[in-house]
Amino acid sequence: MLSRYFDTSVFTQPAPFTFGNLARTLPDVRGPGINNFDMSLVKGFRIRERLKAQFRFEFFNAWNRTQLANPGTSQGTAQFGVISNISNDANPARQVQLALKIVF
Domain boundaries, the chain: 1-11+36-104
Q: Is the pTM here over 0.85, yes or no?
A: no
Please tell me the predicted confidence (pLDDT) of residue 42.
97
pLDDT tens-place string over residues 21-69:
888 787 777 888 888 899 999 999 999 999 999 999 999 999 988 888 8
Integer Cα distance of 51 and 26 in angstroms: 58
Integer Cα distance of 70 and 33 in angstroms: 9
Buried b (16+ CB within 10 A) or exposed e, 75-103: eeeeebbbbeeebeeebeeeeeeeeeeee
Beta strand 52-60 with 39-46 is antiparallel
